[in-house]
A and B are shown apart, each in its own frame.
Chain A
Amino acid sequence: EVQLVESGGGLVQPGGSLRLSCAASGFTFSSYWMSWVRQAPGKGLEWVAKIKQDGSEKYYVDSVKGRFTISRDNAKNSLYLQVNSLRAEDTAVYYCARTYSKQSGGDYWGQGTLVTVSS
């Protein structure tokens, strides 16, 4: 059974940092692209970042470029999102999702981890 479990969220002050993690199981993690998607409270879905199987290609939404870094450790079946210089508008539930290719959507999603940016 495919499982994706996010962790690492919490309350952080503006300008602060967090490292979000996504533990994958039930499939060959190294064979899939992976994405992060976020959802602000009461709002819609927003794609954040995507990474290729070997980490050689990474894509980001403009609003997080230079502040967020997506990475993965295939030996640990884990996906990460380093989030720096956090702003109030980054407050959201962050989901990781498995995808087949750069252009494809997520076929399995985790339950999400909440990041709250507030002083």
Chain B
Amino acid sequence: QSVLTQPPSASGTPGQRVTISCSGSSSNIGSNYVYWYQQLPGTAPKLLIFRNNERPSGVPDRFSGSKSGTSASLAISGLRTEDEADYYCEAWDDYLSGAVFGGGTQLTVL
């Protein structure tokens, strides 16, 4: 069981908007920034969103992040086939004194 809870799967058709949720608690998401990663098959994770809603240079603005209370969301608009990947959320947990990840969401572009 992961400390952060994500849906195991999500799907959409090209051009659609999808959102992936990440639920935590007051000791992690509630008091620290959330980070989102994209992992394409057979590759290392890539940072998509940092500090809840900021994008590293090179990440398309189709990707956006938000946080409210103890939950966070990743939204992908204008879905493309190349967005098919696993997505993970991460936050520091003050109670555990360690980083925690969500279990990951496998996104399928139909």
Contact = CB atoms under 8 A, between A and B. Distances in A.
B50 to A, nearest CB: 6
Interface residues of A, number: 23
A44 B8 CA distance: 10
A59 B97 CA distance: 7
Contacts of B2: 44
Nearest to B102: A44
Contact of B104 (A45, A95, A102, A111): A45
Contact of B45 (A59, A103, A106): A106
A14 B76 CA distance: 43
Interface in B69-110: 86, 88, 90, 92, 96-104
Given A44-B88, A103-B33, A35 B99 contact: yes
B99 A105 contact: yes
Contacts of B39: 45
Contacts of B56: 107
**Secondary structure of the A side of the interface?**
strand
B44 A109 contact: yes
B12 to A, nearest CB: 21
Nearest to B32: A103
Contacts of A107: 47, 50, 56
A105 B50 contact: yes
Interface of B: 2, 32-33, 35, 37, 39, 43-47, 50-51, 56, 86, 88, 90, 92, 96-104
Given A45-B90, A105-B99, A107-B56, 16 more contacts: A44-B2, A44-B104, A45-B37, A45-B45, A47-B98, A47-B101, A62-B96, A62-B98, A95-B45, A103-B92, A104-B35, A104-B51, A107-B47, A108-B47, A109-B47, A111-B43
